[in-house]
Amino acid sequence: MSARYDELKGLKNLGQKYAYSDREVMLYAYGIGLGADPMDEKELAFVNEGTLTPRPLKVVPTFASVAAWGAGPGEMNLNRVMVVDGERDITFHQPLPVAASITADSSVVEVYDKGKDKGVVIAHQTVLKNEKGEKLATLVASRFARGDGGFGGPSLTQPDPHEIPSRSPDTTIDITTRPDQALVYRLCGDRNPLHSDPEFAKKAGFPRPILHGMCTYGITCRGVLQTYADYDASAFRQHVARFSSPVYPGETVTMDLWKDGNTISFEAKVDARGVTVIKNGKTVLG
């Protein structure tokens, strides 16, 4: 067995401590575009706790992706310039509280070495737990390190992605992003200058800063919330998506959705550029 494979596969970091408040919950919701219409009571429930008529603040399910921002299994020593997000898969064990002290247990699930000059895919998971030790959410992330393959790992095949139905979408919606959306979303934790610094973005090969992939991921959660979940965050059991192309802040994201029982399939695109930005999406409601 490859020593490099064993090194990566053995990475583990348990008991990482984090805390968040309603401020972070509301900031995330606003960062993915909820509250754009300040008179929409259903969306306000995620960004405003109410005053004259108090109401419980709701937590967007995919807030789990930033609740323990920075948690991970350890240093992977990858060529970071060549690393891109591949997929996110969050399983929700119970609704996230509005404020909490939590722990994060992170470990590498599997390493898929595609070969020399083909890169490696590393899947790692983070389990979020409350103060009682109960699971809140399990996050599985796949990162594609394009410059780090060919170290002799085992010949493994990645699981097949969720298959989108062949019929026409049951629902199609447009979600408009704001020109400044990446500047807001970065305050949730991801300060990568690719999303905020025009000069840096150009050096990376983009004409201007791009929206965070995880912001687009949150937008797809918002899309399911407003269509098939009736803004009930507690209905979410799983939310999965594969990243295929970036969104530029200010663009309109078009979501195609298919409903089969409790399973919602989805893809997202930017029609103005003719690109698909999210593939093989799946939400399980319950």
Q: How many other CB atoms sit within 10 Å of the CB of residue 117?
A: 9
Which amino acid, residue 12? K
Active site residue 148: no
In 150-274 the beta strands, taken as DSSP E runs, fall at 171-176, 236-243, 252-260, 263-270
Q: Which helix (H) or strand (E) holds 14?
A: strand 12-20
CB 65 within 8 A of CB 90: yes
- Which one is catalytic: 89, 113, 148, 190? 190
Q: What does 100-153 look like in DSSP terms, one character per residue?
A: EEEEEEEEEEEEEE--TTT-EEEEEEEEEE-TTS-EEEEEEEEEEETT---S--
Rounded to whole angstroms, the Cα distance separating 112 from 179 reads 37
| DSSP for residue 166 | S
Question: Catalytic pick from 195, 212, 239, 256?
Answer: 195
Asked if 88 contacts 240 with a C-beta cutoff of 8 angstroms, the reply is: yes
195 annotated active-site:
yes
Nearest Cα to Cα of residue 217 among 65, 92, 91, 30: 65
* Token pair for 250: 């200010």
Give, in order, the Cα–Cα distances in Å from 207 to each of 179, 183, 188, 200, 278. Answer: 14, 17, 24, 10, 21
H-state helical runs in the chain: 3-9, 22-31, 41-47, 64-67, 181-185, 198-203, 213-227
Residue positions annotated with a catalytic role = 190, 195
